[in-house]
Structure 1
Amino acid sequence: MKKKYLLLLLTASLFLFSGCSEDNNSSNKISLGLMSDTAAIPFILADQAGYYESLGINVEIQIFQSAVDRDSALQANAVNAVSSDLIASGFFKESDNSLRITSKSECGYAILSSPESNIANPLDLQGKQIGLSTNTLMEYLVDLTIEKYSIPDVTKTNIAKMPARLEMLRENQIDAATLPDPLTFLAQKNNSSVIVTNEDLGVYPGVILFDENFALKHKALISKFYEAYDKAVDEINANGIDRYIESINQVANFPEPVLSDLNNLKYAHSSLPSEENVNSAMEWLHAKGFISEFYAYEDMILSFE
């Protein structure tokens, strides 16, 4: 299973960067693959508000509803950068490609209880069944929760597809589940309760990965990319996203019931993940045998600060 997963990532990464067209390597263009989660919002708003254009750069955004869809699309489409997470970045590094972390991406994650589970706090997870996707960020967050709160006897149930996980949570077929925003908002509307968040664990796992060769050749372009992102963050924090929500959702395709929740989101300016967070993820991957060695912080990141 581990070898198959690594092979999938290696195959995706080879197509991802060896197949880049000349057009996508042009001097002012970034082709950006994003997941349909809340981390995508500032990047989309920067495009909708004209911040990229005002700085003379062209950012082509592609949105994916699942990591499987994204990785499948990567085999057929040229991109320069993708939204990902610390765990996936370790798998990519093990595959010996040139992806490097250039910043955090801000998306919340949570373990939520099913409506009838009577789980009120992390300790109530003892003896319960938690839906997640194994060998991914979701399992990492569950393991951190188990470790932090010393919870024995937790059953991990692999439900790879998030819509199925959300539905099983709603129907009380599992006791709890790990989900990203905005699916956490939708689960709460279905009477689930948040038990643990990534913030409770002190972990901010979302990242943006750039092809190192592309990034080093286009340092000014990447700096402008993050300048536009920071302008979008300032706009969101000052005024919300009401005036952009319709155009943003035409791109991101968020569930209609959660749109009102998105206006309450706040973001921080672009920055690298902490060394502590990166090291924690690499330690987990190494302990699980998913990576052959512990990758140091400086081997994982590429700074434009």
Structure 2
Amino acid sequence: MKIRGLALLLLLLFLVPVVSGCGSPASSGSSQEESLKLGLIPVEDNFPFFVAEKEGLFTKAGLKVELVPFNSARDRDLALQSGSIDGEVADIVATALLRKGGTPVKIVSLTMGATPAEGRFALLARPGADISSPGQLKGRTVGISENTIIEYVADGLLREGGVDPGSVQKVAVPQIPERLQLLLGGKLDAALLPDPFASLAARKGARVILDDTKINRNLSQVVLIFREEAIKQKTPAIKKLLQVYAGAASLIARNPSAYRELFIEKARIPAELRDTYLAPQYSPPQLPRQEEVAAVMDWMVAKKLLAAPYKYEELVDPDLVNPGGNNR
């Protein structure tokens, strides 16, 4: 009897972990569907996500969001390609190149660039240069980051100023701080810079020749992209993330001074601008316009970065923003 009882006890002890293990995948899967890893580099484009983290908005929405920092767009993109992160804040050029490289991603929303005033880029002449109009850039050296959104915006601005992009001497300088220093040091006649570097260059004597916030059409859009696998598995979480983003953007608009120190830290605002440079406005989540995506595709095909343009539906998922935010 004792032996039989002992055998029964051992059998029960063996079954307990098996039974409890059978129930664990469901709870783990549920938790997994509400968690997101988002790759961000330290620029002003990403600021609402840091405000959401500070205010606990992710937790209030029932989300577990990890904001994964990267020092370069290259490292961020590699993490997305490897599946280490679910999504990232990027641009339309980067999105198409990721897809071309075999990483199926889609845009779920704009984060900046809904209007020309959002996300400033400027083409500046070096301090002391005899350049005061776009036409005087012909034959001059212009610092860019080749085959990126920087070059796309530079080409668009030059055309807006009546200048053929082929008439300037483009110099590839991928790192923005280095491009800034070469401009200020007189090693480049001009350079295309995003804010806050454009504002810093102007403060140090560079002259703004062309400014993409001063033209009628929108040249640059910052977009939130996710791997298609993540979109399929985590649709509710991504929808909540966009709602949280909208809430954080609203908080910034209502009381920007409350987040001043956080903005300086997370956007890495240069010391010379800390007292004067203001956080930009962020529009609610919405889709990029078809013509904006098509313009980028045409440029990439002309540059031989793509053999053929991607269709709008291949790059953009229309089902995650609220209907009112659909900008098609």
Q: Deviations over 1:252-288 (max 9, x none)?
A: 4332333334435212111111111100001111112
Q: In structure 2, give the amino acid aligned to 1:163.
A: P
Cα offset, 1:103, TM superposition: 1.2
Q: 1:263: which partner in 2?
A: 278
Q: 1:208: which partner in 2?
A: 224
Q: 2:199: which partner in 1?
A: 185
- Tell me the secondary structure at the aligned position of residue 120 of structure 1: coil
Which residue of the other structure, out of 118, 138, 145, is the alignment partner of 2:130? 118
Which residue of the other structure, out of 238, 244, 249, is the alignment partner of 1:222? 238
TM (norm. structure 2) is 0.79
- Tell me the secondary structure at the aligned position of residue 130 of structure 2: coil
Provide the C-alpha distance between the structure 1 equivalents of 2:69 and 2:264, rounded to a whole number of angstroms: 11
Provide the C-alpha distance between the structure 2 equivalents of 1:108 and 1:63, rounded to a whole number of angstroms: 23
Q: 1:166: which partner in 2?
A: 180
Q: For residues 226-241 of structure 1, what are the structure 2 equivalents within 5 Å?
A: 226-240=242-256
Which residue of the other structure, out of 243, 260, 264, is the alignment partner of 1:245? 260
Cα offset, 1:113, TM superposition: 1.9
Change (3 A) 1:296 1:76: closer
Provide the C-alpha distance between the structure 1 equivalents of 2:81 and 2:298, rounded to a whole number of angstroms: 29
Alignment of 1:101 with 2:113, yes or no, is no
- Tell me the secondary structure at the aligned position of residue 26 of structure 1: helix
Q: In structure 1, give the amino acid aligned to 2:273.
A: V
Which residue of the other structure, out of 290, 297, 305, is the alignment partner of 1:275? 290
Provide the C-alpha distance between the structure 2 equivalents of 1:243 and 1:155, rounded to a whole number of angstroms: 44
Q: In structure 1, give the amino acid aligned to 2:126.
A: S
Change (3 A) 1:69 1:170: farther
Q: In structure 2, give the amino acid aligned to 1:225.
A: L
Q: Deviations over 1:163-204 (max 9, x none)?
A: 110101111211111122222222222222332233325223
Aligned residues: 282
Cα offset, 1:72, TM superposition: 5.1
Q: Judge conservation of contact 1:102–1:210 (CA < 8 Å) in 2.
A: yes
Provide the C-alpha distance between the structure 1 equivalents of 2:126 and 2:89, rounded to a whole number of angstroms: 29
Which residue of the other structure, out of 46, 50, 72, is the alignment partner of 2:52? 46
Q: Judge conservation of contact 1:99–1:209 (CA < 8 Å) in 2.
A: yes
- Tell me the secondary structure at the aligned position of residue 184 of structure 1: helix
Alignment of 1:198 with 2:204, yes or no, is no
Cα offset, 1:147, TM superposition: 2.6
110-119 or 254-263: which moved more? 254-263
Which residue of the other structure, out of 132, 136, 140, is the alignment partner of 1:128? 140
- Tell me the secondary structure at the aligned position of residue 90 of structure 2: strand
Provide the C-alpha distance between the structure 2 equivalents of 1:179 and 1:66, rounded to a whole number of angstroms: 16
Change (3 A) 1:288 1:264: closer
Work out which of the two has the higher radius of gyration on C-alpha atoms and give 1 or 2: 2
- Tell me the secondary structure at the aligned position of residue 116 of structure 1: coil
TM (norm. structure 1) is 0.84
CA RMSD of superposed structures (Å): 2.2
135-144 or 180-189: which moved more? 180-189
Cα offset, 1:132, TM superposition: 0.6
Which residue of the other structure, out of 57, 64, 78, is the alignment partner of 2:70? 64
Identical columns (%): 28
Q: Judge conservation of contact 1:36–1:254 (CA < 8 Å) in 2.
A: no
Provide the C-alpha distance between the structure 2 equivalents of 1:186 and 1:156, rounded to a whole number of angstroms: 22
Change (3 A) 1:228 1:197: same
- Tell me the secondary structure at the aligned position of residue 298 of structure 1: helix
- Tell me the secondary structure at the aligned position of residue 83 of structure 1: strand
**Structure 1 stretches lacking a partner, 5+ long:** 1-21
Q: Judge conservation of contact 1:204–1:273 (CA < 8 Å) in 2.
A: no
Provide the C-alpha distance between the structure 1 equivalents of 2:238 and 2:32, rounded to a whole number of angstroms: 13
Cα offset, 1:54, TM superposition: 1.1
Q: Deviations over 1:4-57 (max 9, x none)?
A: xxxxxxxxxxxxxxxxxx99x812211111122211111111111221121111
Q: In structure 1, give the amino acid aligned to 2:187.
A: Q
Q: 1:290: which partner in 2?
A: 305
Change (3 A) 1:68 1:93: closer
Q: Judge conservation of contact 1:132–1:160 (CA < 8 Å) in 2.
A: yes
Provide the C-alpha distance between the structure 1 equivalents of 2:203 and 2:312, rounded to a whole number of angstroms: 39
Cα offset, 1:116, TM superposition: 1.4
